[in-house]
Amino acid sequence: MEFSRDLDLLIRSRYPLVYIPTPEEQRAEDAIRGAAQKITPPRQVLMWDFVDGYDIGGGAKEDPLAALEFVRSRPADQSWVFVLRDFHRFLDDVRVGRKLRNLVRTLRSERKTIVLLSPSLKVPPDIAEDVTVLDFPLPTNKEIGAEMEQLLPKDKIKLDANSREALIKACQGLTMTRVRQVLAKAVAIDGVLDESDIALVLEEKKQKIKQTEVLEFYPTSEDLGDIGGLDNLKQWLNLRTSAFSDSARRYGLPNPRGVLLVGIQGTGKSLSAKAIAQHWRLPLLRLDVGRLMGSLVGESEGKAREMVRLAEAMAPAVLWLDELDKAFGGLNGGGGDSGTSTRVLATLITWMQEKTSPVFIVATANNIELLPPELLRKGRFDEIFFVGLPTDRERKEIFEVHLKRVREHSLRTYNLDRLVAVSAGFSGAEIQQAIVEAMHEAFAQQREFTTDDIVTVLRTTVPLSRTAQEHVDRLKAWAASGRARPASREEVKPLLGGGHPEWGPDEWSEQP
């Protein structure tokens, strides 16, 4: 176990202050005791909390200063590990902070280590240089399987090998306490643990993710077939449908890292993220980067580490980073948040570069100019795709997809070719909204909406490709320089009425 190895190294290296943020207090304490006993000579472990004091003798009750004085007074020729539970609540006290800093000087030359064990990470700036944060991992597949066998009688487990593996994978990302609770709940419902209980575990996982306030378990129903066009992107994804399987690992393939989808608003980038998860039958986790930003020093970096830990525990999974340009768009100009965004970005891109877990990242951005260059370097993503305005053929597919959803049985009554001709320069989202607006007009008149209704809306709507023409031009030039792979196979034809006079026939033709 990497945690035991890392803790062993910190103790033997005489790191005076180790901070372990985890909600699994008992499991972490067992691991600390195990690591302390393997050290030569073995370290004696003492536990303290505010209510009961030390577990031997009950000293220093309701007195954090006395708890630290107790550490100082222990014989220097002996080996100790002092576990202080929930001590983060007292770190803002100037007396406790000063006492702790004074004590750290002494501990560096003695075989004494203080471990702060807390469900959350809170490191005041005055002790930040003295603290080493050590993450405690969630249960592994092996640990979950062993707990399942120990917790439930054999006659209550009705799982074949494949179902057992699927259930254990579903439990990934939960603490051992929650694993025990959900397994007991599953057996309480119908008396056995079987394949049908996987859905119950996934629902528990959704509740867990909601409580983190960092990741969101995002439901998906769209598939790649619900996206019009983007054939290059679809082909690239289809080639990797089985890339997370054990057979792919045996073949020697690494886990896919992810893709960055760049394009103007409404071209299907977010829809693609949802469709990828549905197509690959993987859970979709959505990260709101704004939720990572905390007001306390170290809080944002702690949330970023929590996000990484939870995402890896959920693996294999799709992690959706939506609108990265809004989250990190101010970094090129220096930013104004005392470097918090820079540190969060550093944590994120280091993980993206070094991760080996099967977490596939789908990042989207509307304005590539705002993204820091280090985010675009090779190794962060497997591929960067440019999602431009839909071609004629793609717009026809988009009209067909949206009309089929609302008028499947009368789809043939709509003149798709005419709609395609009128909608040049419209994005997929704008096409969908035009259909909805046409339905409102017809519904108000208590009749069926027609092709003419949609055409009327299209002709009175100014698409984003015209209102943001300069931005579209810059984005097109960036993609045409070879920095991104086109998501579509065809170039867009010039709009009706001619193209921009300064563009030649080989230029990107999404011009309004």
Contacts of 333 (CB under 8 A, 6+ apart): none
Does 219 reside within a domain? no
Does 264 reside within a domain? yes
Co-location of 342 and 253 in the same domain = yes
Domain span holding position 174: 141-212
- Residue 62, phi then psi, degrees to nearest 5: 55, 30
**Runs of H (alpha helix) within 139-268:** 141-151, 161-171, 176-190, 198-212, 231-238, 246-251
Residue 272 Cα to chain centre, angstroms:
16
pTM of the model: 0.68
pLDDT band of residue 20 (cuts 50, 70, 90) is very high
Work out how many domains the chain is built from and give that number.
Answer: 4
Percent of the chain topping pLDDT 90: 41
For the cut 90, the answer to whether the pLDDT of residue 403 exceeds it is yes
- Tell me what pLDDT residue 73 has: 92
Run of H or E including 6: helix 2-12
Co-location of 243 and 356 in the same domain = yes
By mean pLDDT, which of 24-38, 69-83, 308-322 is the weakest? 308-322
Beta strands of 247-312 (E only): which ranges?
258-262, 284-287
Co-location of 87 and 169 in the same domain = no
Does 218 reside within a domain? no
The residue among 367, 386, 405 that closes a domain is 386
Does 158 reside within a domain? yes
What is the distance between the alpha carbons of residues 162 and 257, in angstroms, rounded to a whole number?
26
Crossing angle for the helix pair 451-459 and 428-444, to the nearest 10 degrees: 120
Does 217 reside within a domain? no
How do residues 96-138 score in pLDDT, each as one tens digit?
Answer: 999 999 999 999 889 999 999 999 888 888 888 899 999 898 8
Co-location of 291 and 380 in the same domain = yes
| Average pLDDT score over the chain | 85
Does 78 reside within a domain? yes
Co-location of 203 and 66 in the same domain = no
Co-location of 46 and 175 in the same domain = no
Supply the CATH number for residue 108's domain. 3.40.50.300
For the cut 60, the answer to whether the pLDDT of residue 296 exceeds it is no
CA distances from 462 to 434, 477, 492, 512 (A): 11, 23, 18, 10
What is the distance between the alpha carbons of residues 362 and 381, in angstroms, rounded to a whole number?
9
Greatest mean pLDDT range, 205-219, 243-257, 381-395: 381-395
**Runs of H (alpha helix) within 423-501:** 428-444, 451-459, 464-467, 469-478
pLDDT band of residue 368 (cuts 50, 70, 90) is confident
pLDDT band of residue 497 (cuts 50, 70, 90) is very low
- Tell me what pLDDT residue 44 has: 93
How do residues 132-165 score in pLDDT, each as one tens digit?
Answer: 999 898 888 889 999 999 988 888 898 888 888 8
Co-location of 153 and 122 in the same domain = no
Residue 54, classed as helix, strand or coil, is strand
Region 14-40 average pLDDT:
93
Supply the CATH number for residue 454's domain. 1.10.8.60
Crossing angle for the helix pair 231-238 and 269-280, to the nearest 10 degrees: 30
